[in-house]
Structure 1
Amino acid sequence: MAENCIRIRSASTDDVPRIRELIVGLARYEKLEHEMQASEQQLRDALFGDRPSAEVVIAEVNRKSVGFALFFHNFSTFVGKRGIYLEDLYVEPEQRGHGIGKQLLSYLAKLAVARDCGRFEWSVLDWNQSAIDFYRGLGATGMDEWTVQRVDGEALVALAAQYQP
């Protein structure tokens, strides 16, 4: 496949069913399919509702959607600028190795520069060494001194209940 056959574009509401299919593919790859709960309507609201909370770009090869990147803005108090946080990056397995992931990441890097962002960052599963090597090859730096913390489900409800106004 010639690299010039790859097209990256912003998603539209018509893409929501395909975005969800690609997310299911990502969940399957990451062995997290049991955690996949997002419906098409939830995605439509989150991406295209009155107050969108994320954006998606689609990778196409010969007009077929073969990958996506879902991202949102965060803010660095130290840098004093917003950044782009890549929540999900996925390319269908049979399409890997043709530069699609690199095109998605460089597109987002260009977007970050155009939007005057101070950084572009993401997380990767520690067992996904091929992805880690790929990211390092693009100039990414591992933030090994940091760990991800999460509160969800019942623990989120319990923590919220501890707030005393």
Structure 2
Amino acid sequence: MLDIDVVFDRLKEDYTRTLDETRETLKSLSVKPRLPPDSFFILRSGWAIENHISSLFRRVKKSMVILCYDPPGFLRKHYAAIKPLERKIDLYVVVRKKEDYVDIRLPIYEARGTVLDLLESSPMNESVIGLRKDVCTILVDGRDFLVIAAAGSGRHAVIGSDMPIIGYLQKTIVERLTRS
């Protein structure tokens, strides 16, 4: 008579061994995916957006510009992750009205001129993707970006990497902020 426990234990061992072998084979390949330079993606889940924000905060090496379109909700929510960056990188938090952010101890810059125009215009076209309220834009090391917008009770984000225009935009914003 066939012992079901023995059969299942054997299947489990075989399955685990096969998974371990597959993992080791995949590790040995060490293939790093390359995204084309003009790639971008839309994130639609809250978990994916928060995960990408955390990833940007961990990866930043030199500089970060955070453009805040809404009241300080985003900065309050992520303050514990942003505050330590202030000592490690050049950090610029750009807002419409500095007085709305007096309780947030970060390098806050009030937008003026062209930078204010940028904050007052929508980075994502509402008619195309149906988003209603911009939350923030994050530019990282002149190469990565994340734009978050709200739609009803949900949020969406557009992300991209290795885009030369981001470097130009980030540098221009910083120059305009530090000039005034």
User: Into which bin does the TM-score normalised by the smaller protein fall?
Assistant: under 0.3
Give the TM-score, by structure 1 length: 0.27
Name whichever structure is richer in helix by fraction: 2
- Higher RCO structure, 1 or 2 (CA under 8 Å, sep 6+): 2
Which one has the largest radius of gyration? 2
TM-score normalised by the chain length of structure 2: 0.26
